[in-house]
Amino acid sequence: MLTVSELYIYPIKSLGGITLSRAEVTDRGFKYDRRWMLVDEQNRSLTQRQYPQMSSIKMSLKSSGLLARHPMRGDIHIPFLPHNHQTIEEVTVWGDICKGVTLGSSYDQWFSETLGLKCRLIYMPDDTHRQVDTRYASKGHFTSFADGYPFLAIGQASLDDLNSRLDVQLPMNRFRPNIVFRGGEPYEEDLMKHIQVANIDFFGVKLCSRCILTTIDQQTAEKGKEPLKTLSTYRMKDNKTMFGQNLIHHGTGVMQVGDRLKVLTRHEEKRFFVSSPV
């Protein structure tokens, strides 16, 4: 039996994640997941790929909003909804142009000074609908400021298998999943076509290609060669390194750690499945 073992959200894109025991599923992913984003002077999204120091800002949820905290700069409170009369901006996320709203100069200043680069904090309002790539999903499926999809699922067995090949064990936070499950074989998520959790339907539409962000230690912001060096020896497909499955969904509701993950159908072809090493 497969069960949900961890749930994560990343309220501000590419900053620290938050572990949850229960998470609300909305029309564009988990509630609060990547609804905020830092942009540069050209309104392009900022990520750890270019600025690994972003990993040093940790996030937590409070009753009235988010709390962003940096070990040297202290913290700043961010309301769940921006104050009235904020500016509407067109922002770019991986080639997608969508509308967001500014939160104000005080937030821009705090993040700019903390990260050592000029940036602004942007929020995605409910009336912004960013379509998922229609090469992999039909129209009407939306995501937030995530790279491309509302959910990323990874099996704990997959990370255990990867770690069995590494000299130094890596934590799950290197891969920034939303849903982690226990049980099954390593890389079983590769084959999931239609799954159900808490009566919500999820569909595996695209294996997740991994980038240098996975090589950044989320505690120290230091870069290394792993896990990409090892993953590239056995998880390459179309010249990309794969780890995890991107999901779209139908329905809303609440998921909890401990919920059963039911696999209703699998992809007919074994698109990518690697057993543990002998």
- pLDDT tens readout for residues 140-192: 899 999 999 999 999 999 999 999 999 999 999 999 999 999 999 999 999 99
Asked if omega into 11 is within 30° of 0 (cis), the reply is: no
Pick the closest to residue 188 from 168, 160, 216 (CA basis).
160
Pick the closest to residue 14 from 71, 59, 73 (CA basis).
59
**Which amino acid type is present at position 63?**
S
pLDDT digits (tens, 9 = 90+) for 20-48: 999 999 999 999 999 999 999 999 999 99
Residue 216 has pLDDT above 50, yes or no: yes
Residue 217 has pLDDT above 60, yes or no: yes
Residue 273 has pLDDT above 70, yes or no: no
pLDDT digits (tens, 9 = 90+) for 93-149: 998 999 999 999 999 999 999 999 999 999 999 999 999 988 888 888 999 999 999
Q: Are 54 and 12 in contact (CB under 8 A)?
A: no
pLDDT digits (tens, 9 = 90+) for 228-264: 999 999 999 889 999 999 999 999 999 999 999 999 9
Residue 277 has pLDDT above 90, yes or no: no
Task: Give the chain's length.
Answer: 278
pLDDT at site 72 = 94
Q: How far apart are CA 55 and CA 218, in angstroms?
A: 5
pLDDT at site 85 = 62
Residue 276 has pLDDT above 50, yes or no: no
pTM of the full structure: 0.95
Give the pLDDT band (50/70/90) at residue 272.
low
pLDDT digits (tens, 9 = 90+) for 195-205: 999 999 999 99
More confident residue, 83 or 150: 150
Residue 270 has pLDDT above 70, yes or no: no
CB atoms within 10 A of CB 186: 20
More confident residue, 139 or 76: 76
More confident residue, 4 or 272: 4
